[in-house]
Amino acid sequence: MTLEFRTQEVSQDMLARTRKVIAVHINYPSRAAQRGRTPAQPSYFLKPSSSLALGSADAPGTVERPAGCELLGYEGEIALVIGKSARRVGLEDAWSHVEWVTASNDLGVYDLRYADKGSNVRSKGGDGFTPVGPALIPADAVDPAQLRILTWHNGELVQDDTTEDLLFPFAQLVADLSQLLTLEEGDIILTGTPAGASVAKPGDVVEIEVTGGGFSSGRLTTKVTEGTTPFADFGARPKADDTQREEAYGSREAAGLAPAASVLTPKLKAKLESVATATLSSQLRKRGLNNVSIDGLQATRPDRKVVGLARTLRYVPNREDLFKTYGGGFNAQKRAIDSVNEGEILVMEARGEKGTGTVGDILALRAQVRGAAAIITDGGVRDYSAVADLEMPTYFANPHPAVLGRRHIPWDTDITIACGGATVQPGDIIVADSDGILVIPPAIAEELVDDCIAQEKEEVFIFQMVQEGNSVDGLYPMNKDWQARYAEWSAQQTPEGAHGD
């Protein structure tokens, strides 16, 4: 039987019979990294069947960007068409309930995302906001883990990804949805979009194609038109801000926005690098913060001073049935490693368990390649010699040869964790040197480091006075007399960066 013979075209009659369109929020690692969040479980939203539309290279469809809207986002996706009813099916049987695979465009206006508290009814439910087709690929003739999704925007290839490393394989989506609701013949599941989705404007053309197993969906082609009917004043009106622009375009740079201000500015980072953790610890204690040190760890690069923002990963104790579900594939450990950004520090909660490794040479190298400033784990490290040879420092409890499944399940990311006796939240500032590792609340970092700089300057004076033979009595800490002498000494010092004649 030839491939062409088995391929069918999506028809208007088929779309008219579709009762449900279910879409997945995030499913591709590239999209999760772009969004800065990786879900532990799939989540979904519904699109009305009235949003379905056709479109091919020979007969392009059209979609209206509503009047007053700025951000019509497009997302190339692989669509699954259910062929037989599915209710409480298992993973091993789920794919057999899918009859067809095709291309889809999950269109939506970001200007209305605010209006429905996450339901996406108006932002993604407009007429024509779900083009599908043009050709149907037989699901039983392809490997769902070997499909490719491609998207062109005005002829430029902007999305090109595969289903090999999905966060949630297609069979899992079918099985998961069927636990609570019946998937009926003709229902469509949109399976998520990779990185590269962006914004289309009136006059633009978006084309999407799915390939695999020698089959192709053909190019699903949609042209954007400009709406002319304004929204009435008795409902939500379109509004866009820089947050929505960044989300719609995929990044601030792509949206033409200035880079977001980081709490850890280059100036603040340089200040933190200039002071010792011992001084920081003293100033933290003055502010009532006594439990902000990550204790009991050793470092592959004890000579390095490290300052960065925390990203977090939590392991839970191993349970064999759960490890089968959460331990394999692109699990939370790999997702965390693959989404850490330049200058960030990945902090792992391993409950102080020393009986297995929590990171090895390959994943540590991946973190280094992505620009991570360090890895911190209160568990073990595998492949210690190779990890120690990396430029990126790793802080760890001990070397251990065993893999995760002996004691741990990688569970979730970017949450509040405990590491080495300290609570760490995503976005906390981590400072580490040969004296130890500290967790600094971002809100006090600027004031804290300025006081540290002042303290260290005082200590230079005290050290000099002791060196000259003075007693520490009244000098350390300084009484009023010594404070007056210090003020005089300080005024005579050459300002940092200044040069005398």
pLDDT in tens, 312-329: 999 999 999 888 888 888
Which of the two residues, 230 and 496, has the higher pLDDT score? 230
CATH assignment of 290-440, among 3.30.420.10, 3.50.30.40, 3.90.1150.60, 3.30.470.10 = 3.50.30.40
Contacts of 225 (CB under 8 A, 6+ apart): 62, 63, 64, 65, 202
Q: For the ranges 99-108, 250-259, 327-336, which has the lowest average pLDDT?
A: 250-259
Which residues pair with residue 198 across a beta bridge? Answer: 74
Convert the pLDDT of each residue in 421-434 to its tens digit: 999 999 999 999 98
Degrees to nearest 5, angle at CA 266 with 261 and 270 = 150
Element (H, E) at 244: helix 242-249
Q: State the DSSP code for 448.
A: H
Q: For the stretch 236-253, what's the b/e string if a residue is b when 16 or more beta carbons lie within 10 angstroms of its beta carbon?
A: eebebeeebbbbbbbeee
Mean pLDDT score, 447-473: 93
- Residue closest to 191 by CA, chosen among 211, 212, 171, 215: 171
Residue 377 CB burial class (10 angstroms; 0-12, 13-18, ≥19): buried
Fold annotation for 3-249: Fumarylacetoacetate hydrolase; domain 2 (3.90.850)
- Cis omega (within 30 of 0) for bond into 29: no
Domain extents in the chain: 3-249, 275-285+444-501, 290-440
| Percent over 70 (pLDDT), the chain | 96
**Which residue, among 410, 244, 385, has the nearest Cα to 322 in the 3D structure?**
410
Assess whether pLDDT exceeds 70 at residue 500: no
pLDDT score, position 7: 63
pLDDT at 497 over 90: no
pLDDT tens per residue, range 53-77: 999 888 999 999 999 999 999 999 9
What's the CA gap between 136 and 184, in Å, rounded?
A: 18
Could you report the per-residue pLDDT of 382-430, keeping only the tens digit for each? 999 999 999 999 999 999 999 888 999 999 888 999 999 999 999 999 9
Note whether 3-249 and 290-440 share their fold: no
Segment 373-390 shows an average pLDDT of 96
